[in-house]
Amino acid sequence: MYAKKPVLLTLAITAITLTGCSDRIGMAEQAMNEIRNSPSQPIEPPPQAELIEDYVYSANMLRSPFLPPSLVNTQGADTSLDGIRPDINRIKEPLEQYELSQLTFRGVLVSPEGQQYALIQRPDGSVANVKVGNYMGLNDGRIVEITPTQINLIEIVPDSRAGFTERPQSLVSPIN
């Protein structure tokens, strides 16, 4: 007799639980039917885009924070109303037949008169000397500064508007 009580109790609890579940499922189905049968809500139009005034950048005549001061003075001097162009009448110098990546900066030499020269190794192993004002590289790279660790140049490269622009470039010594 005692064995029947737990079985009956389990059946009663299961019946009550299933009745509660069917009640909740029925309520959920009823709510979903109400939502489906209700009239649709109108969609709000997208927000209007704000008109933003054009910003005029007025600091373009100031020094660029991305260039060393030695390159800034020479870069500003070459800009003219008719634009920047390579000098096609200038006789090319020997180191202008190589890309800068092919050349290696080997050191600095100072003449007895105080003139500073940089020693540049060509791909064939021979060494040439250059000074400020000389040209090297394929992009009309004019040397503007020689330091013990690098050579700073200004190259004239084509820009996206079928013209030319100046670009700073450096040849750094591999020796630290």
Q: What is the per-residue pLDDT across 38-84, written as a single tens digit (0 to 9) for each?
A: 888 888 888 888 888 877 777 766 777 777 666 655 544 444 445 78
Asked whether 127 and 121 are in contact (CB, 8 A), the reply is: yes
Lowest mean pLDDT among 15-19, 39-43, 64-68, 126-130: 15-19
Asked whether 129 and 119 are in contact (CB, 8 A), the reply is: yes
More confident residue, 11 or 31: 31
Asked whether 142 and 154 are in contact (CB, 8 A), the reply is: yes
25 membership: H or E segment, kind and range: helix 4-37
Q: Which two tokens stand for residue 164?
A: 């030319």
pLDDT at 125: 92
Q: Look up the pTM and report it.
A: 0.52
> Residue 41: helix, strand or coil by DSSP?
coil
Q: Which two tokens stand for residue 77?
A: 């001097």
